[in-house]
Amino acid sequence: MGIETSDDAGVFKLNKETALIQTLDFLTPVTDSPYEFGQIAAANSLSDVYAMGGKPLTAMNIVCFSPKNFKKEILEETLQGGIDKIHEAGAILMGGHSVDDQEFKYGLSVTGIVHPDKVITNKGAQVGDVLILTKPIGTGIIATAIKAKLADKKIRKNIFKIMSGLNKKASEIMLNFNISSCTDITGFGLGGHVLEMAKGAGKNIVLFSEKVPIIEKTKEFVTMGFLPGGAFSNRKFCNPYLNINPKVDKILIDIMFDPQTSGGLIFSLNKNHGEKCMNLMKDNGINASIVGKVISNDEHGSLTIQ
Ligand code: CO
Ligand code: CO
Ligand code: CO
C-alpha cells in the first residue's frame, strides 16, 4: 500500500505474518518549551502507526536546526522529549539525521509492524457504522491564542497534555473490536480527515457537531477571532463535498476544520458495538465520543455536518 490511498503510512508485506508500517512526520515548534515540543512532535509521528492498527518498533530523528540561531540545549531538550515518548511507546531510537536550517523543525520517521490481514486503512467505513473520536479538538485555535499571549497556564498545561498524549492505549482498545476504518486527526482537521474516510469508502458520513468534544476555551477564542489560516483552507478544500445544516452554530463549523497537532484517532465500527467500545475507552481514562455516523453510499464521498 502506498501514496495513492492518502493513508497515514505506507505498508509493505514481508511475509504471511508480518507487514512493515513506515511513516515520517516533522513539525515546527508548537510550544516555547523544547522538552514539551519534543514530546508532542514524537507523539504526532508515532500516531500514524497506531492509526494503521500497528505497533511502533523503531524511530529515527529528523532535525532541522541552526546552532548559530539557537542554543544547543534547545535541541538537546527537544530530543530528550522525543526519546521519552519513543520509550513510552515501547519503541527504540535508532539514529537520525540533521541539517542546518534557519527554521527549527523536529520529528520522527517511525517503523512499526502489523499482521498483514489486520491493517486498518482509512477507507473501509460501512453504512450503519458509528464514528468514535478519542481526543477533543481545538489545538490549532488554542495554539494561535497562546502565540497571542492570551492563554493562561492552565490552558497551556491542558493542551500540552492532549497533544503529547500517545494514541497507544486508544489504538489497543480499538483493536479489540471489528474496526472498518481508522485515521488520526492532524492538519486537515476533524472535518477534512472524516471527509477523506468518506471519499475512501464512497459513503456519506454525518458529523454531529454538538457531540464533538472541544477543548475548554476554544469557542471563546474563535469568537474573539483566533482561527488559524489552515482552518479556512481546510474548509475551502472540503467545500464541494460538504452539506451543512443551516441550524449549526457557525463557530462550531469553524472548529470542525481547525488543523490539529497530534490529534486523536477516529475510527468506524458497527453501531451495535459503539457503546461497548466507548465504555472501555472511558474506563481507561480516554475522553472518547461517538461523533458521527455512516449514512449512505455516495460515489464521490461526502460529509454532512449537523
Ligand atoms: Co495521520
Ligand atoms: Co502523518
Ligand atoms: Co545522514
Number of H helices, E strands in the chain: 10, 12
Q: What is the pLDDT, as a whole number, of residue 59?
A: 98
Q: What is the whole-number distance in angstroms between the Cα of residue 29 and the centre of ligand 2?
A: 16
> 301 vs 39, 120, 123, CA distance in Å?
35, 19, 10
Residue recorded with cell 514530546: 39
Q: Which ligand sits closest to the CA of 109?
A: 2
Q: Which of the residues in the chain have pLDDT under 70?
A: 1-5
User: What's the CATH fold of domain 129-305?
Assistant: Phosphoribosyl-aminoimidazole Synthetase; Chain A, domain 2 (3.90.650)
Q: What is the pLDDT, as a whole number, of residue 5?
A: 61
Q: What is the pLDDT, as a whole number, of residue 63?
A: 97
How much is the pTM?
0.95
Dist CA 43 CA 27 (whole Å): 11
Q: What is the pLDDT, as a whole number, of residue 7?
A: 81
Q: What is the whole-number distance in angstroms between the Cα of residue 187 and the centre of ligand 3?
A: 28
Task: List, as ranges, residues with CB under 5 A of the ion ligand 1.
Answer: 8, 48, 184
Q: What is the whole-number distance in angstroms between the Cα of residue 80 and the centre of ligand 2?
A: 21
Ordered by start, the domain boundaries in the chain are 3-118, 129-305
Phi, psi of 298 (to 5 degrees): -155, 110
Cell of 196: 477523506
Q: What is the whole-number distance in angstroms between the Cα of residue 262 and the centre of ligand 2?
A: 9
Q: What is the pLDDT, as a whole number, of residue 118?
A: 94
Q: What is the pLDDT, as a whole number, of residue 254?
A: 97
Per CATH, the number for 3-118 is 3.30.1330.10
Q: Which ligand sits closest to the CA of 63?
A: 3
Q: What is the pLDDT, as a whole number, of residue 3?
A: 57
Q: What is the whole-number distance in angstroms between the Cα of residue 246 and the centre of ligand 2?
A: 33
Q: What is the whole-number distance in angstroms between the Cα of residue 7 and the centre of ligand 1?
A: 7
Helix (H) / strand (E) element for 194: namely helix 189-201
CA atoms within 13 A on the CB side of 190: 32
Q: What is the pLDDT, as a whole number, of residue 16?
A: 96
